[in-house]
């Protein structure tokens, strides 16, 4: 005699087993898989990711291997002493970053719902932009918002873009990166900016009738470090003038150090002119009268191409556009 209850149970078990076999990822990928992968991708290092996540290195490795097994494809591969993301990993990174960002935004929205506030807009800005554009833009945003939160972080362009790509930022206001670094990102031009050779007003070079570019090697030169967004522009500029080596070179990303050092020495600071726009306007610093037009670069808004844009973010982007139009950074 057929046991109807047992028959239904067997059929259900058979169906569930078939579903799992046909879709092995169903119910398997966890939030920890995504966050671990994003942190490894951002740090380009398993050990550094483990430090940030406050877990052991074997735990990070195990989580990545679980994710690769579920996706049935390698996401990371060795690159010398470090690691790099595979082509399949780049594809997954785009969706993983968007998913984690959406979850975090959702949690943030729920927490703020009781107070009638929208989610915090997380913005990365170059020091140039943070000093010249963002103060007025944030003021406009706050005047038109209803208690919406905003978080501003500064840093090197590539660091900010990596944070944007993995979902830690919603928007980056900075320079347009190289094409291979803009995968899954969208860029909107705001204005152009060039690099200047910045010195104190009493610099000895101003005593010459004509300032020859080649003479910069006679003085200490503050340079952007390798890997910074403007370094390739600077290197091309130096090569155009036949300069292959600078005897007294100091690499720095510190604006405060740059300002202090050039004011009390004969050093030459190679920096985006927008960083020192106020000092140039008031005359406390001067740009050497040499042609740096080849260093002109586009500054604008970078977002994730496939990420939804909130009303708060649209409001902030509009404020940034308005301020950029009223106060363009002149190159």
Residue carrying structure tokens 């390798």: 226
Stretch 87-94: mean pLDDT, rounded?
A: 85
Residue 80 pLDDT > 90, yes or no? no
Q: What token pair was written down for 255?
A: 């604006």
- Least confident span in 55-59, 68-72, 112-116, 171-175: 112-116
Residue-level pLDDT at 3: 47
pTM, full prediction: 0.64
16 with 43: CB under 8 angstroms? Answer: no
Span of 27-31, 206-210, 223-227 with lowest mean pLDDT: 27-31
pLDDT of residue 294: 83
Q: Which of 83-87, 140-144, 215-219 has the highest average model confidence (pLDDT)?
A: 215-219
Please state which CATH class domain 112-191+299-326 belongs to: alpha beta
Q: In what order do the strands lie in the sheet with 185-193?
A: 150-154, 121-125, 171-175, 297-304, 185-193
Within the chain, all domains assigned CATH 3.40.190.290 are found at 195-295
Give mean pLDDT, residues 294-301: 88
Q: Give CATH 1.10.10.10 domain extents, the chain.
A: 17-85
Domain 195-295 has what CATH class?
Answer: alpha beta
User: Is the distance from CB of 117 to CB of 147 less than 8 angstroms?
Assistant: yes
- Name the CATH code of domain 17-85 (choices 1.10.10.10, 3.30.465.10, 3.40.50.880, 3.30.300.250): 1.10.10.10
pLDDT digits (tens, 9 = 90+) for 100-124: 777 776 766 666 555 555 568 899 9
- What's phi and psi for 104, nearest 5 deg? -65, -40
pLDDT tens-digit series, residues 179-214: 877 877 899 999 988 899 999 999 999 988 888 898
**pLDDT tens per residue, range 252-275:** 888 889 999 999 999 999 998 888
Q: What value does the mean pLDDT of the chain take?
A: 82
Range scoring the smallest mean pLDDT among 3-17, 61-75, 94-108:
3-17
Q: Which two tokens stand for residue 183?
A: 């995968």
Q: Is the pLDDT of residue 8 over 50?
A: no
253 vs 258: CA distance, rounded Å? 8
């Amino acid at each position: 005699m057929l046991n109807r209850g047992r028959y239904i149970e067997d059929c259900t078990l058979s169906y569930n087993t078939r579903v799992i076999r046909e879709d092995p990822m169903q119910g398997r990928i966890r939030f920890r898989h995504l966050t671990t992968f994003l942190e490894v991708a951002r740090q380009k290092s398993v050990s550094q990711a483990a430090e940030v996540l406050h877990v052991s290195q074997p735990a990070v490795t195990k989580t990545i291997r679980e994710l690769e097994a579920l996706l049935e494809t390698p996401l990371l591969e060795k690159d010398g002493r470090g690691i790099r993301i595979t082509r399949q990993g780049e594809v997954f990174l785009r969706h993983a970053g968007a998913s984690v960002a959406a979850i975090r935004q959702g949690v943030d929205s729920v927490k703020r719902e009781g107070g009638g506030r929208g989610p915090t807009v997380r913005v990365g800005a170059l020091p140039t932009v943070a000093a010249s554009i963002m103060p007025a833009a944030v003021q406009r945003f706050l005047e038109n918002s209803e208690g919406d939160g905003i978080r501003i972080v500064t840093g090197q362009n590539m660091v900010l873009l990596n944070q944007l790509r993995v979902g830690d930022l919603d928007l980056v206001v900075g320079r347009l990166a190289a094409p291979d670094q803009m995968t899954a990102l969208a860029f909107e031009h705001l204005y152009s900016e060039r690099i200047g050779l910045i010195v104190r007003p009493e610099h000895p070079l101003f005593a010459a009738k004509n300032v020859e570019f080649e003479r910069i090697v006679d003085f200490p030169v503050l340079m952007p470090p390798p890997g910074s967004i403007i370094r390739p522009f600077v290197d091309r500029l130096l090569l155009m003038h036949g300069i292959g080596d600078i005897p007294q070179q100091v690499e720095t990303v510190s604006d405060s150090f740059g300002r202090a050092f050039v004011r009390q020495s004969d050093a030459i600071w190679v920096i985006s002119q927008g960083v020192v726009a106020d000092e140039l306007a008031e005359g406390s610093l001067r740009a050497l009268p040499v042609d740096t037009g080849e260093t002109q670069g586009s500054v604008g808004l970078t977002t994730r191409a496939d990420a939804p844009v909130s009303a708060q973010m649209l409001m902030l982007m509009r404020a940034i556009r308005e301020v950029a139009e009223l106060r363009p950074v002149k190159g």
